[in-house]
Amino acid sequence: MIVTCENCQSRFHLDAGLIKEKGSKVRCSKCRHIFKVYPPRPAVIPPSQPKPRAGKPKRIKTAKGKYIPFKTKLIGFAAIIIVFIGLIVIPFELYRPIEKLYTLIGNTENLVGGVQAAFDPEELSRMNQFAMDTINGAESIFIHEDKKKDYYFLSLNMLLIEGKILPEEELPKNESGAFKIEGFEEDFDYEKLHETQFYWKLRFSSNPGIEDIFRKYKSLLMKAQENAATAGFDMFSAIYVMLDTGKEEGFFKDQILFLLDGYHWSEAPCYAGEPYDITPANRFWRRKALDGEEGYDTSPVSDPDNFFMPRFTKDQWGTWFTVWLTQKDLTGFYNMFSIDFNANIVKDLLLRIFMLVGGIISALILMVMFITKLLSDLVTRPITELTKGAAEVAHGNYDYEVPLLKEDEFGELTKQFNLMTKGQKERLNLMETLEKFLSKELAEMAAKEGIVLGGQTADCTVMFTDFAGFSTITQKMTASEAVDALNTYFGTLIPIIKKYGGFPDKYIGDAIVALFGAPVKVENHAERAVMAAIEMQKKMRVINAQRRQEGKLFFEMRIGLNSGEVIAGAIGCDAKLEYTSIGETTNLANRMEAACPIAHIKITEGTYMKVRRIFFRGVHIAATPDFVTVKGYTHPVATFSIYVDNLIIKKDMDTKDIKKFYIYEIYDAISVKNRPEDVPEVKFDSVAKFIDD
């Protein structure tokens, strides 16, 4: 590493391995100043400065709309499940009371059909005419306008059931002594009852046989109701027989008539010809008669005005649903044989179903809220922690570790994330370390593809450099000046080697050993090595010119290159390992440096064959080889010199002035070439592209 004195700004080359972790004190050899130095810290990729966060973090919008939190999506998904379950459960549950209602309707239709079948058509027509005469003022009495009308229907039904008007003492009474007759609990006038019987007796006498007909069917209706109760159909109310003309005109514009019912005389029965008001709410009773049709009909099962639920009739006695059979008589009138059945069972079932469905939905909502919160804690918290970790790593904090919340899938993901971050940190540290020896390009290749340190054969180019006359010149320099000079040269030359993909292997005193093609494999290692050597020699000219101007001693350098197969790997022991190359190729590169003209480059035939079709601008490459005798070789070795200019430099070992140690002569036979056309005898395939700083 390069150390700069705090006092005199002198720079020194110091082995970083000698510096303690907490720093070491050193003395400047020039000004004797003592200062403290620290080991170099690994380069850290500067984190990008995060923008200050105000409020909630910025959301990344999706391609289709705004950011939707996971918890919201989870609640939405749960809501869809609730709706889906509701669409299955609610119709099924609602069908149960509707099914019950249709069962009751069916049973009622059977009962109504049996009652209607028991009526003789001719007798029914006589009864209808009797009722019509009643509203038309038979015997000059209009009962429906008479103040005693309630006594008329009571006297009629008592005559039909009892055959007479019972004495006052035989009428039913409650514990307080009041008459127990529905509708007459507070005010009962026995004289009015006795008086109204004569109207009916007069009517019966003027229409022979009609009394027996009415009595017959009154008994029939009462018996049918008793039989229904005995059979378990105690939900049925009394059976009514109604009368309609099938036309909305005159009296029947908004009324129809009672004809007969199955009530006991004490239970507020009707009388033959009693009006029944028709309103828009109950007009459905007449729809078949008005349309001239016959058949069964019911109250609306699906009423739009009642949320499409069944139309029930409510009164003080309960909730009722009506079923009737419309039948046309012999004279063109219409009779409705009607039964009200108790709909409380259906209503209660609907209420229970609604409560059950509401309870199920409420339970599902609570369950979904609980599960959503549980899943949100299980899912969103780990995701939040991972997002926080990703943000830290994005800002360059590779020491951040995402906390492990649980041993589950997210826990495994957290572990893998932390391992990834650790691996990324190690990779960056490796990159920083490799970049001290390799170019950034090769460092990235080594980090990505890996390098082999355990030993391998590699096809590469070996470079040896050496300063000619170094020992002689440094005898005239102080130690500080010698080290400063080396640091200056090496500080410029090593980056050039790395720039062209070379690996600075080692320093041997004033010599540099570098490899091109190991430990990271590159295909054009010879071309890279030649370009690096040319640029290094040209840079030496610049450095030396500056040192001459400053009055400092300088060095001229020789460079030798050889290409071929080497054995490369980490060599040494546990205490000290060093990546280097050994073998014939390395030794011959060393010999090329020794045989090289000063300030120029010497390459072997192996290197020349790899670059002979490449034009190198600004140099002169000898067209014919020089044969050099090399120790260990039985025959001279063919070599080629690369001249970076037309200077021939020699050493004057006898000079008294060390600044004149190097003798420079211009040799006109050397002519640098700047264009491929300047070498017509060679056909080049490409031109070397030097890398600009």
Q: Is residue 412 part of a domain?
A: no
187-202: average pLDDT: 90
Most confident of 239-243, 305-309, 689-693: 239-243
pLDDT digits 0-9 by tens, 530-578? 999 999 999 999 999 999 999 999 999 999 999 999 988 777 665 666 7
Helix axes of 190-206 and 121-135: crossing angle, nearest 10 degrees: 120
Token pair for residue 300?
């609306």
Quick check: is 113 in a domain?
no
User: Does some domain include residue 85?
Assistant: no
- Residue 328 is given by DSSP the state E
Q: Where are the beta strands (DSSP E) in 262-390?
A: 274-277, 295-298, 313-315, 318-328, 334-342
- Tell me the two tokens of residue 483: 């080290």
The answer to whether residue 362 sits within a structural domain is no
Residue 602 in 3-state DSSP? Answer: strand
- 167 and 250 housed in the same domain: yes
Mean of all residue pLDDT scores within the chain: 83
Do the domain assignments include residue 181?
yes
Domain shared by 39 and 154, yes or no: no
Residue at 428 is within a domain: no
Q: Residue 257: which of 237, 241, 279, 281 has the closest Cα?
A: 241
Residues 204 and 311 in one domain: yes
Report d(CA 188, CA 155) in Å as an integer.
Answer: 13
Residue 64 in domain? no
Number of domains in the chain: 3
Q: Which two tokens stand for residue 152?
A: 């008329």
Looking at residue 547, which CATH number applies to its domain?
3.30.70.1230
CA distances from 73 to 275, 367, 453 (A): 64, 16, 52
Q: Is residue 96 in some structural domain?
A: no
pLDDT (tens digit per residue) in 268-317: 677 788 899 999 888 888 999 999 999 999 988 877 766 667 777 776 66
User: Which of 342, 367, 387 represents a domain boundary (last residue)?
Assistant: 342
Same domain, 13 and 144: no
Q: Are 31 and 162 in a shared domain?
A: no
The pLDDT, as a whole number, for residue 643 is 95
pLDDT at 515 over 70: yes
Assess whether 140 and 34 both reside in one domain: no
The range of the structural domain enclosing residue 590 comes to 444-687
Strand, coil or helix: 357 = helix
Q: 563 and 464 in one domain?
A: yes
CA dist 119 → 115, 123, 210 (Å): 7, 7, 14
Task: Enter the DSSP assignment of 619.
Answer: B
